[in-house]
Structure 1
Amino acid sequence: MQHYDVFNGDADGICALVQLRRAQPRDAVLVTGVKRDISLLRQVKAGQGSQVTVLDVSLDKNRSDLERLLEAGADVFYCDHHFAGEIPRDARLKTLINPAPDVCTSLLVNGHLHGAFPAWAAAGAFGDNLRDSALRLARPLGLGETQLLQLEQLGIYINYNGYGPSLEDLHFAPADLYRLLSQFDDPFAFMAEGRAHFERLETGYREDMAAAAALAPEYRDAAAAVYLLPDAAWARRVSGVFGNDLANSDPVRAHAVVTLRQDGNYLVSVRAPLNNKSGADVLCREFPTGGGRAAAAGINELPANQLPQFIARIAAFYA
């Protein structure tokens, strides 16, 4: 019997799988990639008797490949918090999907496992910029302020590592980072015993964020702000976590981080206002390669000539 673990390469996807495989060890083919690589099921060639676990990638974006796998006889467990659309009805498909704005896949897996590894779930939630949800989950653990900060930083650093259009831009390939993290029941053990790996993430994050912090907004009004980042590896890595940082520091505005791609078009990362975590997915789906969830979404390839249209649209959308 062949097993496949399919997961987003960000903090939520990785921490969700860490929990699941610490609780239910399984030798599986790992299928993942950079955070923006969400059409992952196309890589899976599973058939009768195969088991496929899918974490933190949109069912709607993988619908045809999911149906292909089910028709081939594979059993699929699908856990996610993105827009799913109509969920196929099939005895071989089990789903745990909740697109609520304060939920992420790590939190769903935590519930599925009855709280087996809550510190890993909290790290995933911190990485997905669900700080209030992460703190609620972590509070019963009796962690001090320093430990909570360490857990939050770890989640942010794992999430930061997933951004970039290619694996070459990342400090760790997501599958390799998962393998490092999944050796530990507890994230604090990783931070202590895998200190060199943690410091590699931390140094990269701090250097890249310092470069982003020096930028002035391309557009800003009472409702929205848009930042343009250059075609550079540091900018590609930092685009998502920079958007989270902007959202946390200015919760009344929507924010977009627009990064120049090598082909001259743009990669867009959108964060809805923290005091109104809605609409980011709707806005981004107005553009052909857009998608995501209500609080955070993106556009994989915005044509350069549509940048003025996008800026006008986000300003009007959140006005």
Structure 2
Amino acid sequence: MNYDIFNGDADGIISLLQLRLANPVESKLVTGVKRDIGLLGKLTEKVGLSKTDKITVLDISMEKNQTGLVKVLDAGVDVFYADHHRAGEIPTSKHLDAHIDLDADTCTALIIDKLLDGQFHYWAITAAYGDNLIAKGDKLSNLAGLSVELSEQLKELGTLINYNGYGAIVEDLHFHPAVLYTALLKYASPFDVIADNSSPFYRLQNAYQEDMASALAIKPDHQSDKLSIFELPNEPWARRISGVYGNQLANQNPKSAHAVLTENRDGTYTVSLRAPLSNKQGAGDICSQFETGGGRAAAAGINALSKEQIGDFIKAVEAFY
């Protein structure tokens, strides 16, 4: 059995999309909302794996999946692993094919793009845009000879796929990430998605515009020259928009860090932190100081931050930047 394990955001979906367009195989899809990253451990808890199985893991932190990874490697299962998040100690095993790049200007889909020699390069550019690597996406679009209009189309599609991944539970999302991946797999080019009026692009476009309008009406709860914090309510629209809203805020004011706090059902907050675009480092390290936090240098998050910890979070961010 083949198992494809991937993050439910644009980078995870498009990473797998490129691999399976290049090498179609029947597989069991394992994914979830963007913050559901302990996916390898969940698989090992539910499934008895054998040496004939093959596992592909894309765009989830190896550090957060160490226990599950070691378990499957010790069982003799071959694992292909590509990611750009905190890796921790990479196991030494003949069964592990690891492609880890922690550079703040890359994403997993760009790692896959290199491995495939740019076979589905437009999809990789779309993923870069979706992961808020706007300058990188613009550079790649320019090198690919795309017009501004076409690069803006890829930027919008990437943003919409990424937007769909945010939510506390899959019921918050417009498409389960596995369903969205499967729907997109029939398109060799992202431009084919946009050309098809029945594709997920148009449903996501309308929903995104509605949710973003609600977010833009929110005033900041904290604002300094180093950090702006926006608090969103415990509503499905707020959980959906939190990440891409944080990206938009970062793009509007590149010299400041931004955090979007979305209230959880238990009174804690889900945090999306964006490092200043002029200093894309530290976000993962800051969030990792808190029990449920993690991420990468430019963008990170905390799954459950108590109200009492907000002051500590502000101090940590402003001390770093």
Report the TM-score when normalising by structure 1: 0.97
Q: Does 1:118 align with 2:121?
A: yes
What is the aligned counterpart of 1:205 among 198, 201, 208?
Answer: 208
CA distance in 1, matches of 2:77, 2:42: 14
Corresponding residue number in structure 1 for 2:112: 109
How many residue pairs get aligned? The number is 317
Instruction: Note the C-alpha offset of 1:315.
Output: 2.2
The amino acid of 1:245's aligned partner reads Q
What is the aligned counterpart of 1:288 among 283, 291, 313?
Answer: 291
CA distance in 2, matches of 1:142, 1:294: 30
Instruction: Note the C-alpha offset of 1:309.
Output: 1.9
Instruction: Note the C-alpha offset of 1:194.
Output: 5.0
CA distance in 1, matches of 2:259, 2:10: 20
Q: Please, what is the CA RMSD of the aligned residues?
A: 1.0
User: What is the percentage of aligned positions where both structures have the same residue?
Assistant: 50
Corresponding residue number in structure 2 for 1:31: 30
Corresponding residue number in structure 1 for 2:39: 40
SS at match of 1:227: strand
Corresponding residue number in structure 1 for 2:6: 7
Residues 29-38 or 190-199, more deviating: 190-199
After superposition, the C-alpha distances for 1:147-174 in whole angstroms (9 at most, x for unaligned) are: 1111100000000000001011000000
CA distance in 2, matches of 1:257, 1:96: 31
After superposition, the C-alpha distances for 1:126-155 in whole angstroms (9 at most, x for unaligned) are: 000001211222223322221111110000
Corresponding residue number in structure 2 for 1:217: 220
Corresponding residue number in structure 2 for 1:51: 54
CA distance in 1, matches of 2:169, 2:182: 19
Q: Stretches of 4+ moved more than 4 A in 1?
A: none
CA distance in 2, matches of 1:170, 1:17: 20
Map 1:80-99 onto structure 2 (within 5 A).
80-99=83-102
CA distance in 1, matches of 2:269, 2:127: 27
After superposition, the C-alpha distances for 1:51-98 in whole angstroms (9 at most, x for unaligned) are: 100000000000000001111111000000001011000000000000
Instruction: Note the C-alpha offset of 1:305.
Output: 1.8
| Contact 1:272/1:280, CA 8 A, preserved across alignment | yes
CA distance in 2, matches of 1:297, 1:145: 29
| Contact 1:5/1:31, CA 8 A, preserved across alignment | yes
The amino acid of 2:260's aligned partner reads V
Instruction: Note the C-alpha offset of 1:43.
Output: 2.8
The amino acid of 1:207's aligned partner reads E
Q: Does 1:157 align with 2:160?
A: yes
| Contact 2:105/2:136, CA 8 A, preserved across alignment | yes
| Contact 1:31/1:43, CA 8 A, preserved across alignment | no
Residues 308-317 or 292-301, more deviating: 308-317
CA distance in 1, matches of 2:197, 2:191: 10
| Contact 2:193/2:199, CA 8 A, preserved across alignment | no
Instruction: Note the C-alpha offset of 1:217.
Output: 0.6
List alignment gaps of at least 5 residues for structure 1: none
Corresponding residue number in structure 1 for 2:21: 22
| Contact 1:118/1:138, CA 8 A, preserved across alignment | no
After superposition, the C-alpha distances for 1:253-279 in whole angstroms (9 at most, x for unaligned) are: 000001100111010000000000000
The amino acid of 1:258's aligned partner reads L
Corresponding residue number in structure 2 for 1:145: 148
Corresponding residue number in structure 2 for 1:297: 300
